Amino acid sequence: MSFMEPFRIKMVEPLTSLTMEERIKILEHSGWNPFQVEGRHVTFDLATDSGTGALSQDQWAAMMQADEGYFYSRSFKKLEKCVKSLTGFQFMLPAHQGRAVEHLLFPILSKPGMTVFSNYLFPTTRGIADLVGLHAVDVPCQGSPDNSFNGNIDCERLKVELEKVGPEGAMVVLAVASTTPTGQPVSMANIQDLSKICSKFDVPLIMDGCRYAENAYFIKTRDKEYKNMTCKHIALKMFSYFDHVYVSAKKDGVYNTGGFLATNSEDVYNKVSGRMFYTEGFQTYGGLTGRDMEAMTIGLLEGIDDKFLQYRVESTRMFGDILKEAGVHVIDPIGCGIYLNGAKCLPHIPTCEYPAFALHCALYVSGGIRCAQLGDILKLDESNERENPKSQHILRIQIPRRVYTLSHMLHMRDIFKGIIEKRETISGMRVVDFTSSDYSAVLEPLNGKLFDE
C-alpha dist (Å) from residue 332 to 30, 111, 147, 329: 33, 39, 9, 9
pLDDT of residue 112: 84
Buried b (16+ CB within 10 A) or exposed e, 336-350: bbbbbbbbebbeebb
pLDDT of residue 30: 96
- In degrees rounded to 5, what are phi and psi of residue 343? -65, -35
Which residues on neighbouring strands pair with residue 45, listed in sequence order? 370
**For the chain, which residues score pLDDT lower than 70?**
1-2, 181, 375-392, 453
What is the distance between the alpha carbons of residues 29 and 27, in angstroms, rounded to a whole number?
A: 5
The percentage of the chain sitting over the pLDDT mark of 90, rounded to a whole number, equals 84
The strand pair at 205-208 and 244-248 is best described as: parallel
pLDDT of residue 379: 62
For the segment 375-405, what is each residue's pLDDT rounded down to a tens digit?
666 665 444 444 454 456 889 999 999 999 9
Which residues on neighbouring strands pair with residue 117, listed in sequence order? 137, 172
Cα 437–Cα 97–Cα 286 angle in degrees, nearest 5: 135
pLDDT of residue 381: 46
- In degrees rounded to 5, what are phi and psi of residue 444? -160, 150
Domains of the chain are 20-49+314-445 (3.90.1150.10), 57-303 (3.40.640.10)
What is the distance between the alpha carbons of residues 392 and 331, in angstroms, rounded to a whole number?
A: 11
Which residues on neighbouring strands pair with residue 175, listed in sequence order? 208
pLDDT of residue 1: 59
